[in-house]
A and B are shown apart, each in its own frame.
Chain A
Amino acid sequence: DIQMTQSPSSVSASVGDRVTITCRASQGISSWLAWYQQKPGKAPKVLIYAASSLQSGVPSRFSGSGSGTDFTLTISSLQPEDFATYYCQQANSFPYTFGQGTKLEIK
């Protein structure tokens, strides 16, 4: 199985800050990577697919980059509604696997 490792596991930040979350795959996955946002008690919602494509309706302050084994999710200017947990997911090969999550908290 491909292991997905996110860092950090948690981060504290303030409204207006720029935040970057990284995701590393244990082997190359080309650009088969998606990023999800999950708020408490809610289902995950896709933000980024194919490593860098913004899902329709997602604010442009979210961006993704990377290919191969190293990927990043960047939020350019944090808004109050962005405080949530973020997961990466590889879809290069079965079984699909998720990172362990990064909890973004208010400082």
Chain B
Amino acid sequence: QLQLQESGPGLVKPSETLSLTCTVSGASISSSSYYWGWIRQPPGKGLEWIGIINYSGSTYYNPSLKSPVTISIDTSKNQFSLRLSSVTAADTSVYYCARRGPGRWFDPWGQGTLVTVSS
């Protein structure tokens, strides 16, 4: 059964870099049929799409994000990662990783991890 699990620091200081990793189990991240993505949700608010990456490293990002975003993939570890630079308090959110299927919907999702930006 496919499962995704986010990991990384729960607290990041303003102006620093937020780094999260999503570990995929139960399927190979190298499948050409799928993209792997990040979505976030500020406490008590709605969902915001951050970006996606495929097995070859092809990426699409949300240009609306104020903090520069980089998503990378490590097929040898069956993981993909998110880096958000120069974060501010507005980047405080629950961050989810998810698989994007050929039909472009996200399923399944990881359980999510809360990242707080605060000094």
Binding site for B on A (CB under 8 A): 1, 32, 34, 36, 42-46, 49-50, 53, 55, 87, 89, 91, 94-101
Q: How far is the CB of B42 from chain A (nearest CB, A)?
A: 12
Does residue B63 face the partner (Cβ distance < 8 Å to A)? yes
Given contacts A98-B47, A101-B46, contact A46 B96 (CB under 8 A): no
Contacting residue for B111 out of A43, A46, A100, CB 8 A? A43
Contact flag A95-B63 (CB < 8 Å), given A49-B103, A87-B47: yes
| A100 near B46: Cβ-Cβ < 8 Å | yes
The smallest C-beta distance from A39 to any residue of chain B, in angstroms, reads: 12
Q: Is the CB of A96 within 8 A of B49?
A: yes
Contacts of A100 in B (CB 8 A): 46
Secondary structure call for the A interface:
loop
Shortest CB distance B39–A (Å)? 8
Contact A43 B105 (CB under 8 A): no
Partner of A34, one of B60, B106, B109: B106
Q: A95-B49, A97-B49, A101-B46 are in contact. Are A49 and B64 (CB under 8 A)?
A: no
Pick the residue among A49, A99, A101 that contacts B105 (CB under 8 A).
Answer: A49
The contact of A43 among B48, B60, B96, B101, by CB within 8 Å, is B96
Query: A94: nearest residue on chain B (CB-CB)?
Result: B60
